[in-house]
Amino acid sequence: MVELIAADTIGEPAINISIFGVFVLITLVITFRASRKNSSAADFYAAGRNISATQNGLAIAGDYLSAASFLGIAGAIAVYGYDGFLYSIGFLVAWLVALLLVAELLRNTARFTMADVLAFRMRQGPVRTAAAISTLVVSLFYLLAQMAGAGGLVTLLLGVSGEAAQAVTVVVVGALMIFYVLVGGMRGTTYVQVIKATLLIIGALVMTIWVLGTYGFNLSALIGGAISSGGQAVAEPGAQYGLTGVSKLDFISLGLALVLGTAGLPHVLMRFYTVPTAKDARRSVVWAIWLIGIFYLFSLVIGYGAGALVGKAEILAAPGAANAAAPLLAFELGGTALLGIISGVAFATILAVVAGLTITASASFAHDIYASVIKKGQASPTSEVKVARIAAIVIGAVAIGLGILALQAGLNIAFLVALAFAVAASANLPTILYTLFWKNFTTQGALWSIYGGLIACVTLIIFSPVVSGAPLNEATGTSTSLFQGVDFHWFPLSNPGLVSIPLSFFLGWLGTKLSEEKPDVAKYAELEVRSLTGIGAEKAVPH
């Protein structure tokens, strides 16, 4: 199957590569400039906490609008219409949880990582370890999705085919991202995100206006075009999930994971620490909500536009399948030039998100596991940052390995990201909320909730149709499962959120109720007063 792909490559690979190259060059220069200010741990992890609210809002959008949002959602809308739209709504509404309940309180109480808050009132060692493990698992799921997106895109755009060439591309993407993180730290990563978000939103705006212009700025006519290519079903709910009772439950499970996942994503939480105050954290989330919401409105138009102008059948036949919808639409609209720009932006997107994930995972390892658990808080900041840099290399290498494995799977990346959201909503969100708002919450409750949610979620994914036993696609003769030809699945839903999220909330409550130790009342007083007033919050590093 892979050998056929070269013939389907669209556009001029040379143009695609050179536009991407320009982006890499510009961001490398900026990263180098940013590296001059990288001396302390607060610089490396949190960009000295002096990123402005507007910049951070753009950077949050840059972190959040991953390949899943751009390629995955547009593709899901192009192929399944209405059901793809749900992804964007869930991804957006989820930000209200972050805005109303989490962002400011976290900025006021934590220093560098999610575990800073989760372990605040608890026994440090066990809770930090649990939070760090769950940070690493969520980040790896998310990385897997980005790398899978990179693989599909490479095949489509750069004219490379064959597993070896694809693997080389993933290695190049991975090496670049390690470089950004090592040299630029959080500040360099932030600038990469800001540039990428700007490019991505402008690119999507151009495509949106172009598509709407083609249909006389008439949404109904655009949907009519998508219907004539993909059938009436694309305008109605249920094209992807409405077939059976089980798939309907799967849809609800997905919806729950999306809306509760965002506020538990470690790389999103870490962005709140890069601004000077909690009010800036609030302003940056407001920026992010507007940018992300408007972007998703664009992707509705782009998705239906791809369905109408490129056609569902052609999208599904392309390498990368649904993920190829947006690039194919760009080629249909603006030929080689627009395709080159859009694919350059898509690559930039993957690179920037992967860099954000890597710095989060490495910070969590260095700050939570190395400095707090192994060295019992006695590590010098210099050695901590050094460990973070080494961890970034290791995590980058793991991401490259996973990416090469994920290349052939052909899963929709929005769907893969939804699994990362399910893990975040199951393992992290209940403990974050209990810690901030429930006076009697204890260490045992936190551990039961984090490990229970994490283990339940990952176990259910392993024994779901995602990993084995999904029905075969007649057109390609393969299934959407990670492993072909075996079937050990017993859990019917593709997204485990419906089971694992309530379970984690329940375990947090039960673990607390059965706990023999008393909650630390003094620490709760400190947490509550600090979280709401901002007293004792980490300050920006003066330059």
Interacting residue with other proteins among 142, 251, 273, 451 (CB under 8 A): 251
Amino acid at 127: V
> Cβ closer to other proteins: 95 or 191?
95
3-class state of residue 479 by DSSP: strand
Interacting residue with other proteins among 183, 532, 540, 541 (CB under 8 A): 532
| Both tokens assigned to 283 | 């302003």
From residue 270 to residue 299, the character string flagging contacts with other proteins as x (rule: CB under 8 A) and all else as - is ---------x--x---x--xx--x--xx--
Q: Which residue reads 């954000």 in tokens?
A: 356
Amino acid at 390: I
- φ, ψ dihedrals at 472, nearest 5°: -70, 145
> Cβ closer to other proteins: 172 or 286?
286
Residue 522 engages other proteins in binding (rule: CB under 8 A): yes
Stretch that binds other proteins, among 27-35, 58-66, 81-89, 336-344 (CB under 8 A): 81-89
> Cβ closer to other proteins: 178 or 417?
417
CB distance 210 to 301 below 8 Å: no
Residue 536 engages other proteins in binding (rule: CB under 8 A): yes
Residue 119 engages other proteins in binding (rule: CB under 8 A): no
Least distance CB 232 / other proteins (angstroms): 8
Angle (deg, nearest 10), helices 429-437 and 443-462:
160
Interacting residue with other proteins among 8, 12, 487, 526 (CB under 8 A): 526
Query: How remote is the C-alpha of 463 from its chain's centroid?
Result: 23
How many Cβ atoms are within 10 Å of 516's Cβ, its own excluded? 6
Residue 207 engages other proteins in binding (rule: CB under 8 A): no
Q: Count the residues in the chain.
A: 543
First to last CA, the chain: 55
**Alpha-carbon span 38 to 136, nearest angstrom:** 24
Least distance CB 449 / other proteins (angstroms): 19
Residue 212 engages other proteins in binding (rule: CB under 8 A): no
Q: Which of 306, 266, 246 is nearest to 136 (CA)?
A: 266
3-class state of residue 472 by DSSP: strand
227, HSE (Cβ side, Cα atoms, 13 Å): 10
> Cβ closer to other proteins: 97 or 186?
97
> Cβ closer to other proteins: 32 or 290?
290
Geometric angle at alpha carbon 118, from 125 and 263, rounded to 5°: 145
The number of residues that bind other proteins (CB under 8 A) is: 55
Residue 521 engages other proteins in binding (rule: CB under 8 A): yes
CA 495 to each of CA 16, 148, 253, 508: distance values in angstroms, whole numbers, following the listed order: 35, 18, 6, 21
> Cβ closer to other proteins: 85 or 347?
85
The interface with other proteins within residues 229-248 (CB under 8 A) comprises: 235-238, 241-242, 248
> Cβ closer to other proteins: 97 or 211?
97
Residue 529 engages other proteins in binding (rule: CB under 8 A): yes
Stretch that binds other proteins, among 83-91, 417-425, 443-451, 484-492 (CB under 8 A): 83-91
- Which residues does residue 472 pair with via DSSP β-bridges, in sequence order? 479
CB distance 157 to 435 below 8 Å: no
Q: Please give the residue ranges that form the binding site for other proteins (CB under 8 A).
A: 82-83, 85-86, 89-90, 92-93, 95-97, 99-101, 218-221, 223-224, 227, 235-238, 241-242, 248, 251-252, 255-256, 259, 279, 282, 286, 289-290, 293, 296-297, 518, 521-522, 525-526, 528-530, 532-536, 539
